[in-house]
Amino acid sequence: EDQVTQSPEALRLQEGESSSLNCSYTVSGLRGLFWYRQDPGKGPEFLFTLYSAGEEKEKERLKATLTKKESFLHITAPKPEDSATYLCAVFPLTGGGNKLTFGTGTQLKVEL
């Protein structure tokens, strides 16, 4: 069974204090790994898709990386507007249906 574990569950940073969020996964062949951002009361907003180990993607202060067992979302010099819950999901190569398996997220709070 596919599994996704995100850590930490919650993270509090000072503005400008860089850090990383972790997404560990177990899947029988990876088609893609997705990162989403979710603000309170809103739907998940797509950030990145990673397909193979060694791949990296960047967007503003965020950089996502992928290995064969985990993905990291690095946040460089965060600002208060980066506060949100960050979700990771995996899409397996095999198996029926369209089943994305999501982690439970990391709730990030960036303070002034």
Partner 1 sequence: IAGITQAPTSQILAAGRRMTLRCTQDMRHNAMYWYRQDLGLGLRLIHYSNTAGTTGKGEVPDGYSVSRANTDDFPLTLASAVPSQTSVYFCASSPSRTDTQYFGPGTRLTVL
Residues that bind partner 1 (CB under 8 A): 4, 31-32, 34, 36, 41-46, 49, 87, 89, 91, 96-100, 102-105
Of 88 and 110, which CB lies nearer to partner 1 in the complex structure?
88
Number of CB atoms found within 10 A of residue 69's CB: 11
Of 40 and 112, which CB lies nearer to partner 1 in the complex structure?
40
For residue 83, the minimal CB distance to partner 1 (Å) is 18
For residue 21, the minimal CB distance to partner 1 (Å) is 15
For residue 49, the minimal CB distance to partner 1 (Å) is 6
Coil vs helix vs strand at 80: helix
Please name the amino acid found at residue 20.
S
For residue 63, the minimal CB distance to partner 1 (Å) is 18
Coil vs helix vs strand at 82: helix
Query: CB under 8 Å to 31, separation ≥6 — which residues?
Result: 51, 91, 92, 93
The rounded distance, in Å, linking the Cα atoms of 54 and 71 is 10
Of 41 and 54, which CB lies nearer to partner 1 in the complex structure?
41
